[in-house]
Structure 1
Amino acid sequence: MFTQLCNKIFNESIADYHQYDDVNRLISNPYEKSSIEHLLYLKNWIDTVQWHLEDIIRNPQIDPVEALGIKRWIDRSNQERTDVVEYIDSYFLEKYKTVVPAANASINTESPAWAIDRLSILALKIYHMQEEVNRTDASEEHRQACQRKLNVLQEQQRDLSAAIEELLSDIAAGKKFMKVYKQMKMYNDPSLNPVLYKNEQ
């Protein structure tokens, strides 16, 4: 199943990152650049680095200049994440391009790649909640509370994986059709963000 591949690669990316736990470390993607595996690994690597940037920026002792730099890094990361999601959707558009949708075919609330985006984030939540469950310096109450949360996250992962598989099956069978809207982020575009274009006048 496709989601088994996703979860395997997401876990691999997370484990690779945590060998060094360094947001500045450059990605070493082990997969062929033209493959879907390469995109899945890249997607999760971006998510993993951003997860830790979000942790760093919440340090109450952080230098304001450093915090601003990280905020802008997060903005760039969000754009990269969106771009990779669109590349993943392009893979599915190509894969299913010969499918003729049934007359009563419907559109899904989100594209396959945006559902896979949520699956990537879930893998990160599971990894870090497992870390909390395993903490030897935390109270038993804390570990038990985190175990309950972990159980829910794992259930979410199973449910979301099943839903993605059903969506892909329905697209392949012509029961649903894909329609991808390119994300039109405005805050990074100097011609669309009023704070940016007013400063240029």
Structure 2
Amino acid sequence: MAGVDTERIARAVREILLAIGEDPMRPGLERTPARVAEAYAEFFGGLDVDPLSHLADAVPIGASEQGVPATSDAVVLRDLAFRSVCEHHLLPFVGTAHVAYLPGERVVGLGRIPAVVETLAARPQLQERLAEEIADTLEAGLDPRGVLVVLDAQHRCVTTRGPRQTRSSTVTIASRGVLAEPAARAEIIALIGAEQHD
């Protein structure tokens, strides 16, 4: 892919401003096309990035002196902030991702999981598909025994237009392997919802 064409976006935004009856050259709007183009380059920067690249440096978990795997049963990352853009109206949706996996033979640095979320969110998206893509990437990149992804987000196409449900949020869940089983999934969801203490 060639990347985001900011000049083309800026031209299109000028056309949108003209189409709504505005003057794109008036003070306050002169730099708007360039600003929107810069924002879109950030919003959609994940289109040129392979999310699996963030998991390329996964390492074998090894074993303890007793011969058992030297890792916990589950790795759970809670409260990962994310933002994406809904492909239906090109309006943002913003929320929190909770990601868990049960390591198989390999683990990855904790900073790599948010990078996967960020990359996949930085594309025109649907929340349902985003959860599935995060789960698929972790499954392909780490070969874990199980994966669970929970996304909770507010959609600007719901909060700012139509019925304007300003307090509503949408929760989507994607699970793989052992964590697709109801009892195991419920245990991880309880961990995600457990109260945190500083």
Q: Could you say whether these structures have the same fold, taking a TM-score greater than 0.5 normalized by the shorter chain as the test?
A: no
Q: Output the TM-score relative to the length of structure 1.
A: 0.27
- Which one has the bigger strand percentage? 2
Which has the higher relative contact order, 1 or 2, with Cα contacts under 8 A spaced 6 or more apart?
1
- Which one has the bigger helix percentage? 1
